[in-house]
A and B are shown apart, each in its own frame.
Chain A
Amino acid sequence: MKINYLKPNFMKTSKFFINAFLSLAFVASFTSCSDDDENPEPVNEEELITNLTLTFSNIATPADVVTMTSVAPDGLEEGMTTENVSGNFTAGATYALSLAITNASETPADDVLNDDIIPEADEHFFVYGVNDLNLSLTRDAGDVDGPDGTKLGVNTTWVAGDASTGNLQIILVHEPDSVNDSNPFGSATGGSEDFNITFTGVSIL
């Protein structure tokens, strides 16, 4: 009997393996050279606040100045801060407060107060606090308008009462839900604190 063996499967099999292997090798080589070895750039942190300075100037006696500084080279947000108070308030005197909020990690230093906070005053609010310290303040008529008809709290006038020693706190609230300045120290609900700094050992002599 004559027998015709039909085309064996064998050829197809080896061809498949070769094709499969080649395509795997191709893909592997493609993926491994898609990379380059350049180093990434450091991120320039834009939202950083590194220096906060409160300068209280006696309206009557220009030489009478109380300065409070808070410095955080890595930013107030999560870096370690160093607070410093120089000078003492004089009982019965009136002071104008001048704020400076800057990012000194950039050269020249970035003026965060005038470039970011004041242009968006309706989303910010300064809250002040004192403890065991006879200081009172008023938000100036010329103060920047804050949220909902309030005063932002950038331009304030402070009156030192009887001699005392205590703490002074300044908080910047971002996007508060509601704010109130009927007590000029101010209060806010909701939002998040951009900074919350307390200066200790502040004295009125």
Chain B
Amino acid sequence: MKNIFFILFILTSYSGYTQQCDNVLKGNIIDFHDNSALENATIRIIGTNRITISDNQGEFTFKNLCNSVYELEISHVACKTKQVTLEVAGDTFKSISIEHHIEELDQISIKGTSKTETKTAQETILKSNVLERYSSLSLGDALKEVSGVSSLNTGNTIVKPMINGLHSSRILIMNNGVRQQDQEWGIEHAPSIDINNAGQISVIKGSGALAYGGDAVGGVIVLNPSRIINRDTLYGKTILGGQTNGRGYNISTSLNKNYNTGWFAQAQGSYKRNGDFKAPDYNLTNTGLDSKGFAARVGKRNFESGFELHYSYLNNEIGILGASHIGSVFDIARAINSGQPLLIRDFSYTINAPKQDITHHLAKANYYKRFRGFGKVAVQYDYQYNKRLEFDVRIGDRRNIPAIDLTLQTHSILADVDLDANLDRKINFGVLGRYQNNFANPDTGVRRLIPDYDKYEFGTYIVTEWNVNDKLLIDAGIRYDYSRIDAKKFYRTSRWEERGYDVDFADIVIEEFPTQLLTNPIFNYHNFSATAGLNFELDKTNSILFNYSLASRPPNPSELFSDGLHHSAARIELGDLRFNKEVSNRVSLSHKLNSKRLNIVSEIFYNRINNFIYLRPFAFTLTGRGPFPVWAYQQTDAELYGIDLTVTYEINDKLHYLNKSSLTKGYDLETDLALIDIPPFSTFNQIKYTNANWYNFSAALKSEWVFEQNDFPDFNFEVEDQLTEEMVLIDISTPPPAFHLVHFYTEATFSLSQKTRLNIGLGVNNLFDTTYRNYLNRLRFFADDLGRNFTLQLQLNY
């Protein structure tokens, strides 16, 4: 239809050839987001030298135009130049909108400073130049760059991020706009994310980012891919690395093709491999890793509209220290008393049981459109497929059958609206729907750790941001989430009765077997969360941020349904069907000092968590493997508080000093016990020399000092050696002593051609080959942590 009109129009303009060219084109230039008039915009008719400027009403006029098609070019300070094609047929009026506030609206930074996800929360951004140095490592390793963030490790390749002492289900991870769903409740389940895929990471302490979820009692981690540039360009990056400890090597490469029309395509792949790591005195047998990742994005991104299709794949095969495979508390006692692993072999790349094999697929499609004088509307659908296989030490043909075989599939749809017509009072609201299915394969021959379940979630939120004046910004938001879990869970009849479920939950039994019961627990949770905060600039160098967040988290499947032996911990773990949601009230106060040479960020927080769910020793049971401690999830009231400090000081142009220190305390208020696995006080000091004139050379000496955790719950226990009838103390609580490590890193960048740069980085971790064990490494009972490691990394940008 359009074409026909166009042809007709051309014909009429030809037929009017004799007509005089005395038409008037009148128009106005308005700001897209709020319809306000834009003064002093330059309007040029392309192909002519006719130029005019809009007046204070945003209006402009061209006289003496023919009936024809004209192309206009509109430019304005700090706006993207826009071209408009229009037809003049007689006197014509045209309203043209251009956007003057792209930076504020689109989270695009022109000045090189990164946009934060929140305005009043305690947020830190890690940019690509920092992330690139972690190419051979994991997400959890990189996040430790942030003061107050530590990690809970199982060995050195299973690294779970921990924010202010909280981890697992209490941390929400957003991977390119998709909430990561990968059995994150598990203490040995590291996020299935390839760090090479992230262009920038925001770490938000507490639950201040309500648009992402209301249950982030600990914090939110937001990974964003690298930014799209609207320009005809093709560029790429390849990172090659090698490490002596573990004889590791890694390669990561990415290619980007962009067009000035907004079309873009990106592809990225990475491969990492290492064999057995080494502690200063021995090999850590069976600690190899084989990791393959791939990701691709394609789409169109313009100011007014855009879409994106994204797919990513990650497969990690992770060996778990062979010596950590234990069968009884006597095994663990022997491991602790021997002081070194009871299984040490020569170096090998082979990964045997115990091991994990995790595959994660993520696909998403989103679309957004901006409406003039209104804001931005975005819709998204995403799908995740997570397959977790855990192989245990087994016998016979079962050797190659995993002991855990879980398939978790998640579909989410969401719609989000940003009302930003008034830049001083933005409103963001949205809705979310999610369906999740967990399937536990019964072919493992091992009772299901987590039952089959369907989970339905619905969420809605509204957050607002108010620039009161130049110095004061206030934000606030509320969110409601509904969550329903519908599980099919087998219980041993003996356990069912022992837990008293036969009295409280008799109605959910749907089938009876000789020694087992099939039950159908269905639980509904209604969760409210809220946040409010302010950001106040005291003067040019000082600002203060205050934030209050209320978060509610429903119990996760493991807290509800666990019932059985946790092999690597030599304990029986029990969930509780009676649990209610966990509610956290967190207040935080930050002070930022930004002066010419000195920068200080001090962050304090207090987090009071009611109905806090955690595992605690509960009883003993005598089994065919001797006595086993039974740990049960308990609901209690807890408090956590602490302070995180980041100081940078420019001694002179070339010499920089950095300090990061963090202190966290956590207590169970009902038992007056310290919480388990709270990071001890740590302080990190770095002195760095840089010389921009000499190939961007830099060299940094780093000191990492982790104190002994003196505030720990004493969960030690004594068991009777039945043969000798003597009592044996099992010390599973005493934290390892403090340790001090020194690291060194140096790099330089060489220009190979106009568009090609080569960055060479050389590092030594644990320079003095210090022997140490880390309180937050769950394998600390069995082996020392890593010894010295030389690393070499070549990065080619082209």
Contacts and interface: CB of A to CB of B under 8 A. Distances in A.
Given A24-B379, A47-B445, A1 B622 contact: no
Contact of A76 (B435, B444, B624): B624
Interface string A162-175: 00000101000011
Contacts of B91: 1-3
A61 interface: no
B93 A39 contact: no
A35 interface: yes
Interface residues of B, number: 72
Contact of A192 (B371, B393, B411, B492): B393
B396 A169 contact: no
Interface string B55-84: 000000000000000000000000000000
Interface stretch (A4-12, A139-147, A152-160): A4-12
Q: Which of A17, A117, A192, A194 has the largest count of B CB atoms less than 10 A from its CB?
A: A192
Given A20-B367, A80-B623, A74 B515 contact: yes
B24 A39 contact: no
Given A31-B435, A39-B510, A193-B327, A74 B492 contact: yes
A23 interface: yes
A116 B395 CA distance: 7
B463 interface: no
Given A24-B379, A27-B381, A78 B572 contact: yes
A193 B411 contact: no
A102 to B, nearest CB: 13
Given A3-B92, A174-B395, A196-B328, A76 B446 contact: no
A28 B328 CA distance: 48
Interface string B112-127: 0000000000000000
A81 B723 contact: no
A123 B399 CA distance: 12
A87 interface: no
Contacts of A1: 24, 91
Contacts of A117: 395
A149 interface: no
B295 to A, nearest CB: 22
Contact of B725 (A9, A79, A167, A190): A167
A4 B379 contact: no
B90 interface: yes
B328 A42 contact: no
B10 to A, nearest CB: 16
Nearest to A115: B396
B339 interface: no
Nearest to A119: B396
A78 B564 contact: yes
Contacts of B623: 72, 76-81
A205 to B, nearest CB: 21
A195 B625 contact: yes
A73 B492 CA distance: 10
A66 interface: no
Given A24-B413, A47-B398, A81 B624 contact: yes
Contacts of B723: 129-131, 167, 169, 198
A5 B445 contact: no
Interface of A: 1-6, 9, 13, 16-17, 20, 23-24, 27-28, 31-32, 34-35, 39-47, 49, 52, 70, 72-81, 105, 115-117, 119-120, 123, 129-131, 167, 169, 174-175, 177, 189-198, 200
Interface of B: 24, 26, 86, 89-94, 323, 325-328, 330-331, 334, 338, 342-343, 367, 369, 371-372, 377, 379, 381, 393-396, 398, 411, 413, 415, 433, 435, 437, 440, 442, 444-448, 451-452, 454, 488, 490, 492, 494, 510-511, 513, 515-516, 518, 564-565, 572, 621-626, 628, 722-725
28 contacts: A4-B89, A4-B90, A4-B92, A16-B377, A17-B377, A23-B379, A27-B381, A40-B451, A42-B516, A45-B445, A46-B445, A49-B624, A76-B623, A76-B624, A78-B625, A81-B623, A120-B396, A167-B722, A189-B334, A189-B342, A191-B327, A191-B331, A192-B327, A193-B328, A193-B626, A194-B625, A195-B624, A197-B624
Given A80-B622, A200-B722, 6 more contacts: A34-B437, A45-B447, A77-B565, A119-B396, A193-B327, A196-B625
